[in-house]
A = this chain, B = another copy of it.
């Protein structure tokens, strides 16, 4: 347990929604240390939120509570859940947003629609059903304020997990995107995120790459081999980014603009 609560939402920072959630949490745990990870998730984009979470939660102290709200089903019968892993807690709607947390190991096929996945034994999950920890009346449009915020704050005070609701053994999850190998032996990956610098982050991990020299094809351009850093590469370069994924970058420029690249575009890696 920790008094650190992180937030990932699609609420933006212009509206008062995020501030209001913090007000509710501080009313329950005045010692909570609340850290914004991102509120710029595209509205209703569960896949993007899941990916952003996957690149961030490892870097927080043991026992941190991660609240992740992209919730097109708010107010309907979708479940709200707490997931406990050996290192962290997650408070979120049960809509696939925790898919990467549930699938640290590679998954063969890419299935964007979430299905039921059984929890592995080191994980525990609770359906948030006990209204004692909620703010009342509960709005049907803002469970962030009325359910997720107060539950996360109570959790940060040390309330035992089982008090929040009943144990569940299945959560909804999709298969995170993974590269495939084509008939010619080339690795086919995808751009899964474009950051503020215009760097193209792919689903190709460090371990997916051959030890040999490689040739990368992306958006009709070719890149030979990997650079050790942004500064030490060519104008257009490839390197292993800070999360261990293959990344395409441009020196002091936006690779996304240079290549007119978009999320979902293919990247092809061959032996030279």
Interface flags for A224-264 (1: CB within 8 Å of B; 0: not) read: 00001111100000011110000100001010000000000
| Count of chain copies | 3
Please name the residue on chain B nearest to A31 by beta carbon.
B33
A61 B26 Cβ-Cβ under 8 A = yes
Q: What residues make up the interface of A, taking CB atoms closer than 8 Å to B?
A: 4, 6, 8, 10-20, 22-24, 26-27, 30, 33, 35-40, 43-44, 52, 55-56, 59-61, 64, 72-76, 78, 139-142, 145-146, 195-197, 228-232, 239-242, 247, 252, 254
17 contacts between A and B (CB under 8 A): A10-B196, A14-B196, A15-B38, A15-B195, A16-B37, A19-B38, A20-B56, A22-B35, A26-B60, A27-B59, A59-B145, A72-B231, A75-B228, A75-B229, A75-B231, A141-B229, A142-B241
CA distance in complex: A16, B56 (Å) = 6
Partner of A196, one of B11, B19, B76, B232: B11
By a CB distance below 8 angstroms, the chain B residues around A11 are 196
Residues of B within 8 A of A140 (CB): 228-229, 239-240
Name the residue on B nearest A3 (C-beta): B30
Partner of A35, one of B15, B23, B52: B23
Does B6 contact A19, Cβ atoms closer than 8 Å?
Answer: yes
Question: CA–CA, A61 to B228, complex, Å?
Answer: 39
**B residues in contact with A231, CB < 8 Å:** 72-76, 78
**In the complex, are the beta carbons of A229 and B13 less than 8 A apart?**
no
Chain B residues with CB under 8 A of A232: 75-76
Residues in B whose Cβ lies below 8 Å from that of A33: 26, 30
A72's closest neighbor in chain B, by CB? Answer: B252
A85 CB to nearest chain B CB (Å)? 16
CA distance A24 to B4 in the complex (A): 12
A241 and B64 in contact (CB under 8 A), knowing A196-B14, A231-B75? no
B16 A26 Cβ-Cβ under 8 A: no
Q: Give A6's nearest chain B residue, CB to CB.
A: B19
